[in-house]
Structures are given as structure tokens and as C-alpha cells.
A and B are shown apart, each in its own frame.
Chain A
């Protein structure tokens, strides 16, 4: 039934108006007055800037992102299972819990592998391993 999404559309419209208003109002009401030459410099920490801010990023962040993608997809698979368990149990189908358990075991094997590989150790140096 498509009408169930009407509140979503309304909420999106309201949120867009409020968000746009906040950003718009600040640039309208807070228009610049007389300003010196340094007003529009990057503040950072109040000191003259050293180097560029487009630095290389630690590879750890990418590892976390990859691990997240894998686990999040698997968690997404669990949603339809979790919602239908109650009904299937009532019909006397208790194998459904075993199915979920097997899925979780597969998940745990991958998790244990990642743990051993050190994917979750943020501060471990290469030389120590």
C-alpha cells in the first residue's frame, strides 16, 4: 500500500525546509561587515598553516570500512530471518532457529579469522607481529 509512505514524504519536505532555512538564514542574517584581509583564512588552530590538509590517510580506516561492509551485509540478511522466526515457531517449525545458528557460526568463523589477522588491533605495529 503506497499511502503508508505519505508521512515519509511529508517528513522529508519538512526536514528539507528546516535544514535549508538554517543554512540560508545564517548566510542572510550574518552577511559580512567590514573585514580585514585575514578574516577568511582557514582557522585550524589559530596558527599560520603548515603544509597541506590533503594528507594521506592511514590504511586502518580502509580496513575498518571493508570489514564493516562484509558484516553489515550479513546482518542485513538476518533481518528477514529475525522477523519471521516467531511465526514459524508457532507453526511448530523449530528448525528455523537452527538455520539462524548455522548462519551465525559461519559469521563467527570469518570474525575469528579477522581477529587472528589483527584487523581489529588499531595500535599494533607491523614490526611487533
Chain B
């Protein structure tokens, strides 16, 4: 009992630590990537290739003066960034980061590199909690007592709920093929069948587009829209409270990329897997997962610096008239293919 609790706790610390580290890494990738795409140098003074820049930024933000405007709604104003970070940090525990079914640590089965391997509701837990993230943004926008923040919060809430439908429908296609809510089973299914991206390509496109909107990234960052709303819902935030919103955005990006990999690109599986076992399989699978994850994280950066922002009516049209019918079509297709015994 205590041993398994210790294993769970250490898995949680390892995974949470990696996710928080990925925030720092992604900040560096984003700034250097933007510089690369715009043909300039980017931060290159602190450490080799500017690698220590995120540390400098974090320390600077920690010691910045924490200005709380006098007209804000105090309680909600403090609560909003905490909600954003909290929601971002609890979602990834159902994602399998690597193999390890047959690995034992001090006589306790590891159960795979996933924090909650036995959780039966699996992806439902993730979907339910990640949709709570909208509260952080809406409360921040409203409690700031600022016209632009309010507009950013409103836009964001309408955007998040619009794209959540298409996202959930795209996930349903995968669940239909797998027959289980647990992401472990989704990965196991793809180890023996084709990766879901091939039979469910429409679902993959819909899901990827929808998570871009869900994470408030360009081309769907209407909630921030610097050119019209100053900085949207976090104009009035400073110091680490401002950084909290930034952090939750990057953590959500990591979770979203991990979900794309797990649902459509076979998770931690890789060709030639049967030649490995035990710890070697665990290490190789984590490596395979990280390679796929890195690609999609880079895709987020790549798209951000390549595409212009949508107009709000275009955003709504794409969500309701474009993605929703496509996602439903994908569901019908998966059902038909299953009836024909193709997948």
C-alpha cells in the first residue's frame, strides 16, 4: 500500500517536473524559433545559444513589483491565475508517457509511465478538467475591471466552448475504434492496428485545429489579440501572476501535443518495439514519445509565427459550420468502417 503510494507520488513528481521544465524549454524554443522564422538572432546572450534565458526571465518576473490595481475585484483577481495553473497541472496524469507494464520498482509494479494507470474514466477526466480552464480566463477578464480584459474574456469563453464540441467529437471517433476511455488502451490498440491518423485523418485535422483554439494560440488567439485588446484578459496582471497565465498556456500546449500523439500517432509505440523489453522498452518508448511530442510542440510555434489571426466571425464560422460537421462525418465514417470490419 505505502510502497505503491510512493511509486505513484514519485511518478507524479517526475511527470509534473518534466511538464514544468517543458515550459522553460518551450519559452526558449518559442523565442529562438520566432527569431529563426523572422530571420533574426533572438536571445543569445545568456548561456550557450541563450539557453538560460528562461531562468533569467523567471527570476526577473518573480522579483517584479506586484501591482494590484485599486479597482479590481480582489478575491477573484487573485483566484484567476491560480485556477489557470491548477487546471493546467492536473490534466496530464492520464496520459501515458512510456511503456513499463512489466517493470517493477522495489517489488511494486510500475504500471506504465502514467500517473493514474487505473483511472477508468481516463480521457473524460482530462476533457472535464481542461474545460474548466475557461473559468481562469473569464474570471481574470471580468475581475480586472477593464474594458479590454472583459472583451478578451468574453471572446475566449465563446471560442473555447465552440471548439470544445468539435474536439470532443473527434476524440469520440478514437474511442469508438478503441472501445475504452483509458488512454493506455488507446495506445495498446494502435500498437496492433494502424495509427489512428491514417483511418481517421479527418478526425486528426479537426482535433488539431480545435486544440489550437482551445489553447488560445495563434491563429485563434482572439482572447489576447495584442493589436486590438492590448493583451486581452491579462492586461492588469503583473509579476508572477502574469507569468502564471503564460505558464498555463505552455502547459496546455504540452498536454495538447501529448494528446495528439497519444490519440492519433500511436503514443509511445514505435516500429520494432517487439525487440525491447523491461527497462530498455521503457527508455526507448519515452524517447519515441518525446520525438513525436517535440514535433507537435514545434508545430505550435511554427504555426504561430506563420499564420495571421482570424477575424472573430471567421473563427465562429470555422468552428460551427466547418469543424463540427467534419467531426460528425468522421464519427459516421469510423462507425461505417467498423461495420465493414475495416478497422
Residues of A within 8 A of B (CB): 1, 3-8, 10-12, 14-16, 18-20, 22-23, 25-27, 29-33, 39-45, 51, 53-55, 57, 60-61, 64-65, 67-68, 71-72, 75, 78-79, 82-87, 89, 94, 97, 100-101, 104, 107-108, 111, 115, 119-123
Give the shortest distance, in Å, between A89 (CB) and chain B (any CB): 6
Q: Which of B171-179, B196-204, B263-271 contacts A (4 or more CB under 8 A)?
A: B171-179
Query: Does B293 lie at the interface of the complex (its beta carbon under 8 Å from any beta carbon of A)?
Result: no
If the complex has contacts A75-B172, A83-B175, A120-B317, are A40 and B69 also in contact, measured as CB distance less than 8 A? yes
Give the shortest distance, in Å, between A74 (CB) and chain B (any CB): 9
Contact status B70-A61, CB under 8 Å? no
Give the shortest distance, in Å, between B306 (CB) and chain A (any CB): 25
Query: Does B76 lie at the interface of the complex (its beta carbon under 8 Å from any beta carbon of A)?
Result: no
Question: For chain B residues 114-162, which have a beta carbon within 8 Å of chain A?
Answer: 115-116, 118-120, 124-125, 144-150, 154, 157-158, 161-162
Write out the residue numbers on chain A whose beta carbons fall within 8 Å of the beta carbon of B240: 22-23, 25-26, 29-30
Write out the residue numbers on chain A whose beta carbons fall within 8 Å of the beta carbon of B335: 85, 97, 100-101
If the complex has contacts A104-B332, A122-B317, A123-B313, are A26 and B241 also in contact, measured as CB distance less than 8 A? yes
Residues of B within 8 A of A (CB): 5, 8-9, 11-13, 16, 20, 61-72, 78, 81-83, 85-87, 89-90, 93, 115-116, 118-120, 124-125, 144-150, 154, 157-158, 161-162, 164-165, 168-169, 172, 175-181, 230, 235-236, 238-241, 243-244, 247, 312-313, 316-317, 320-321, 324-325, 328, 331-332, 335-336, 338-339
In the bound complex, CA of A18 to CA of B248 (Å):
12
The 3 closest A-B pairs by CB, nearest first: A86-B179, A26-B240, A30-B66
Write out the residue numbers on chain A whose beta carbons fall within 8 Å of the beta carbon of B179: 83-87
Write out the residue numbers on chain B whose beta carbons fall within 8 Å of the beta carbon of A26: 61-62, 64, 66, 239-241, 243
In the bound complex, CA of A108 to CA of B332 (Å):
12
If the complex has contacts A11-B90, A65-B158, are A25 and B85 also in contact, measured as CB distance less than 8 A? no
Contact status A22-B89, CB under 8 Å? no
Give the shortest distance, in Å, between A90 (CB) and chain B (any CB): 9
Write out the residue numbers on chain A whose beta carbons fall within 8 Å of the beta carbon of B157: 61, 65
Give the shortest distance, in Å, between A107 (CB) and chain B (any CB): 8
Contact status B85-A15, CB under 8 Å? yes
In the bound complex, CA of A15 to CA of B12 (Å):
11
Interface of A, secondary structure class, is helix
Write out the residue numbers on chain B whose beta carbons fall within 8 Å of the beta carbon of A55: 147, 150
In the bound complex, CA of A8 to CA of B164 (Å):
23
Contact status B90-A12, CB under 8 Å? yes
Write out the residue numbers on chain B whose beta carbons fall within 8 Å of the beta carbon of A122: 312-313, 316-317
Identify which of A25, A54, A64 contacts B316 (C-beta below 8 A).
Answer: A64
Give the shortest distance, in Å, between A65 (CB) and chain B (any CB): 7
Given contact pairs A29-B66, A82-B176, A111-B324, a sample of 20 additional A-B residue pairs in the complex whose CB atoms are under 8 Å apart: A7-B12, A8-B93, A8-B125, A10-B115, A11-B115, A12-B90, A15-B85, A23-B82, A26-B64, A26-B240, A32-B66, A40-B68, A43-B235, A64-B316, A65-B161, A72-B164, A75-B168, A75-B169, A87-B179, A104-B332
